[in-house]
Amino acid sequence: MADTIANGRPDQSANNIDGPTNPMVTPILTDLYQFTMAYAYWKAGKHNERAVFDLYFRRNPFGGEYTIFAGLEECIKFIANFKFTEDEIAFIRSSLPPSCEDGFFEYLRELDCSDIEIYAVTEGSVVFPKVPLMRIEGPIAVVQLLETPFVNLINYASLVTTNAARHRFVAGRSKILLEFGLRRAQGPDGGISASKYCYMGGFDATSNVAAGKLFGIPLRGTHSHAFVSSFLSPDEIIEKSLQHRDGSSVCEDFVSLVQTWLNKLKWSHLLGGIFSETNQSELAAFTSYALAFPGSFLALVDTYDVMRSGIPNFCAVALALNDLGYKAVGIRLDSGDLAYQSCEARKFFRAIEKEFGLPGFGKMNITASNDLNEETLDALNKQGHEVDAFGIGTHLVTCYAQAALGVVFKLVEINNQPRIKLSEDVSKVSIPCKKRCYRLYGKEGYALVDIMTGENEPQPKVGERILCRHPFSESKRAYVVPQRVEELLKCFWPGNSDKTREDLPPLKEIRERCIEQLDKMRSDHMRRLNPTPYKVSVSAKLYDFIHFLWLNEAPVGELQ
């Protein structure tokens, strides 16, 4: 028997692929019906029949016309370490009827994924409905057991990556996007996954420390209202000294230096009249935070009153820091009208730059947060704002605008026999056969269409006209002369076959791929309002075959 590691799972480390991020992702993280079907396949002697399943989705989320494929690495890590523990086998036995024969549990005991082959689109790619994101081949009983965990691992990952990409699209390339969602995410796995996939979708950093450690995502953060209101007055600051940044001198009373600056601001003719007395609790909090982090001072300015207290208090501290050679980072706004306040804050910073001759002060970073989503970002853009960074939590990580991406896993072939699943709803009819999928690019470098062909059809060639047909609608078809042809499905798990396994790229590389692919999308597919659908097609041969099979399988009705 194989060695076992700490959690009782057989040691598969010879495959050099770590297990999934979440240790709950085990072979029993599946639906009961996968085991009942596996038993029935086994009992019928059918369990080793070679099946091909496609994993795909039917509609793009968030009313958009694109999706980002994510979660592949976790699927591969899962199957690379797929092995039942004795404990799990005992539990499965206790969950099935007592009549289930021992031989089945012997079979489960020996099971791994060495006989499975997985072809997939590269993680971080832009993908479209109906085109397989993954093709899973292998003994039917095993592939069936993979359905639920794979759909689970791809569904939220792709949904939240797409959500992040959509937020990035609205915010624009130049803005810093911070994921602040851990506290509002659906449990610990939701939080960790959100941080990983929001980074993949184009966010710059997360506040989630565990995700920073696990995935190397840059960590960023400010401070909360509690920190501000926990102080009563500057009198409670005991340690008041601060060394000059270059070490040349020490300011013994930084608190007084801040007070001096606050008075200067109050009486300055440019700024005068905006405020009188600022909140002393807030001033004490800012001063203390600056004493703790003089090189990276950033303050939350909306606890009491942004313009009459938060901004002047922040500026007094920032100016005192400047005297000692430190450059404050900026502010965070977390309530009220973020467009208006950011513009007012910017005016104040610029006025200070001018008044005190401090180059760069006007460019102080303004971070905004508070229930932000695509719509509010869009509204802020339309109004005009001065925000440099957005901190986004709830709407981003919970995918508030759409709860799930209906990923499905459908049988398309068994023992080399193509299979189709019919439905009253045409959009739910599956596309049969083991297929090859290509993206065809046009003259201007944009992707024109994705096309699926039968496995043995010749590959579309550059410069050669090919007919692309809508899979179900007879009248929708177009000729395409591709300038570039990209094969979409690559082998990420060759099983026992002699295919070469694609490496799993590091997260940063996947993120770069995602950003690059989105940049190359035609703008009409990307726009928020009524985007143009991207064309997904099949070859003429596959079209004919789908419709032949459809007619073959659909019973003819009888009218009486």
Ligand X SMILES: O=C(O)c1cccnc1
Ligand Y SMILES: Nc1ncnc2c1ncn2[C@@H]1O[C@H](COP(=O)(O)OP(=O)(O)OP(=O)(O)O)[C@@H](O)[C@H]1O
Pairing assessment for the beta strands 126-127 and 67-68 based on DSSP bridges? antiparallel
> Cβ closer to Mg ion: 280 or 370?
370
What is the rounded CA–CA span in Å between residue 354 and residue 362?
A: 8
Pick from ligand PRP, ligand Y, Mg ion, none: which does 394 bind, CB < 5 to 8 A by kind?
ligand PRP
Residue 162 tokens read as: 């797409």
390 binds ligand X (CB under 6 A): no
Closest CB to ligand PRP among residues 62, 180: 180
Spatial distance between the Cα atoms of 411 and 242, rounded to a whole number of angstroms? 68
Rule CB under 6 A: say whether 387 interacts with ligand Y: no
User: Cα angle vertex 19, ends 15, 23, to 5°?
Assistant: 155
Instruction: Assess 370 for contact with ligand Y (CB under 6 A).
Output: yes
Dist CA 20 CA 458 (whole Å): 37
- Cβ-Cβ contacts under 8 Å for 487 (sequence gap 6 or more): 436, 437, 438, 459
371 touches ligand PRP (CB under 6 A):
yes
- Which positions from 156 to 195 touch ligand X by CB under 6 A, shown as an x/- string? ------------------------x---------------
393: contact with ligand X by CB under 6 A: yes
Q: Which residues contact 413 (CB under 8 A, 6 or more apart)?
A: 51, 52, 419, 432, 433, 434
Angle at 76 between CA 71 and CA 78, to 5 degrees: 95
Task: By CB under 6 A, tell whether 384 contacts ligand Y.
Answer: no
- By the rule CB under 6 A, 207 interacts with ligand X: yes
- Least distance in angstroms from the C-beta of 551 to ligand Y: 53
Quote the Cα angle for 419-420-424, to 5°: 160
- Both tokens of 121, joined, read 């689109």
Q: Does 393 bind ligand PRP (CB under 6 A)?
A: yes
**CA within 13 Å, CB half, 338:** 25
**One residue of 391, 460, 471, 531 binding ligand X per CB under 6 A:** 391
**What number of CA atoms fall less than 13 Å from residue 230's CA on the CB side?**
11
- Please tell me whether residue 78 binds ligand PRP under the rule CB under 6 A: no
* Binding segment toward ligand PRP, per CB under 6 A, in 106-114, 176-184, 411-419, 485-493: 176-184
Site string for ligand Y, 311-340 (x = CB under 6 A): ------------------------xxxxx-
Alpha-carbon gap, residue 279 to 256, rounded angstroms: 16
Nearer to ligand Y, 239 or 371 (CB): 371
* Alpha carbon separation from 421 to 6, 135, 409 (Å, rounded): 43, 16, 11
Does position 394 bind Mg ion by CB under 5 A? no
* 222 binds ligand X, rule: CB under 6 A: yes
The least distance separating ligand PRP from the CB of residue 33, rounded to whole angstroms, comes to 37
How do strand 407-414 and strand 417-418 relate by DSSP bridges? antiparallel
Q: In 164-192, which positions are buried (b, 16+ CB within 10 angstroms) versus exposed (e)?
A: bbbbbbbbeeebbbbbbbbebbeeeebbb
CB 264 within 8 A of CB 343: no
| Minimum distance from residue 193 beta carbon to ligand X (Å) | 17
Q: x/- string (CB under 6 A) for ligand PRP, residues 309-338?
A: -------------------------x----
Instruction: Output the smallest distance, CB 338 to ligand Y, in A.
Output: 4
Q: Would you give the binding string for Mg ion spanning residues 346-385, x where CB under 5 A is met?
A: ------------------------x---------------
Q: 206 vs 376, which CB is nearer to ligand Y?
A: 376
Q: How far is the CB of 329 from ligand Y (least distance, A)?
A: 22
Q: Which residues bind ligand Y (CB under 6 A)?
A: 335-339, 370-372, 376, 379-380, 383
Residues that bind ligand PRP (CB under 6 A): 180, 183-184, 224, 334, 369-372, 391-395
